[in-house]
Amino acid sequence: MPRHASSPLDALLVDGSFDGELFPGEYMARHTTYHIGGPVRYFVQVASLGSLKRLFDVCEREGTPCVVIGRGSNLLVSDEGFPGVVATLGRDFQTCRYDEKLKRFFVGAGVPLSKLVQSAFRHSVAGLEFAVGTPGSVGGAIRMNAGSDEDWIGSRVVSVTVLSRASQLVRYEAADLGWGYRTSSLPDDEIIVECELSVEPADPFFIRGKMEASLARRKVTQPLGQPSCGSVFRNPKGASAGALIEGLGLKGFRIGSAQVSDVHANFIVNAGDATARDVVELMRLIQAKVYKAHGIELQPEVRFLGFA
Ligand SMILES: Cc1cc2nc3c(=O)[nH]c(=O)nc-3n(C[C@H](O)[C@H](O)[C@H](O)COP(=O)(O)OP(=O)(O)OC[C@H]3O[C@@H](n4cnc5c(N)ncnc54)[C@H](O)[C@@H]3O)c2cc1C
What would the pLDDT profile of 122-167 be if each residue is shown by its tens digit? 999 999 999 999 999 999 999 999 999 889 999 999 999 999 988 8
Same domain, 246 and 202: no
Q: Please indicate whether residue 117, judged by its CB atom, sits closer than 6 Å to ligand 1.
A: no
Same domain, 199 and 257: no
Residue 78 falls within a domain, yes or no?
yes
Q: Is the pLDDT of residue 3 over 80?
A: no
Tell me whether residue 52 is exposed, middle or buried, using C-beta atoms within 10 angstroms of its C-beta: 0 to 12, 13 to 18, 19 or more: buried
Catalytic pick among 78, 214, 231, 261: 231
pLDDT 10s digits, 292-305: 999 999 999 999 99
Q: Is the pLDDT of residue 4 over 70?
A: no
The range of the structural domain enclosing residue 24 comes to 8-92
**Phi, psi for 62 (deg, rounded to 5):** -100, 10
pTM metric for this prediction? 0.96
pLDDT at 140: 98
Distance 103 CA to ligand 1 centre (A): 25
- For the chain, give the percent of residues with pLDDT over 70: 98
CA 120 – CA 98 distance, rounded (Å)? 8
Q: Is the pLDDT of residue 54 over 70?
A: yes
**Phi, psi for 109 (deg, rounded to 5):** -65, -20
Task: State the average pLDDT over residues 253-276.
Answer: 98
Enumerate residues 6+ apart whose C-beta is below 8 A from 277: 79, 256
Q: Please indicate whether residue 139, judged by its CB atom, sits closer than 6 Å to ligand 1.
A: yes
Task: State the average pLDDT over residues 104-116.
Answer: 98
pLDDT at 1: 52
pLDDT at 166: 87
Nearest-atom index, ligand 1, CA of 141: 21
CA angle, 142 as apex, 169 and 303 as ends, to 5°?
Answer: 110
Known catalytic membership, residue 164:
no
Q: Please indicate whether residue 145, judged by its CB atom, sits closer than 6 Å to ligand 1.
A: no
Same domain, 237 and 266: yes
How many domains, the chain? 3
Same domain, 126 and 190: yes
CA 133 – CA 218 distance, rounded (Å)? 8
Helix (H) or strand (E) holding 157: strand 157-163
Q: Please indicate whether residue 232, judged by its CB atom, sits closer than 6 Å to ligand 1.
A: no
Known catalytic membership, residue 182:
yes
H-state helical runs in the chain? 8-13, 49-62, 113-122, 138-144, 204-221, 241-247, 276-294
pLDDT 10s digits, 201-240: 999 999 999 999 999 999 999 999 999 999 999 999 999 9
Distance 188 CA to ligand 1 centre (A): 14
Distance 131 CA to ligand 1 centre (A): 11
From first CA to last CA, the distance across the chain in angstroms is: 33
Distance 301 CA to ligand 1 centre (A): 10
> The domain that contains 181 carries what CATH number?
3.30.465.10
Known catalytic membership, residue 54:
no
Residue 3 falls within a domain, yes or no?
no
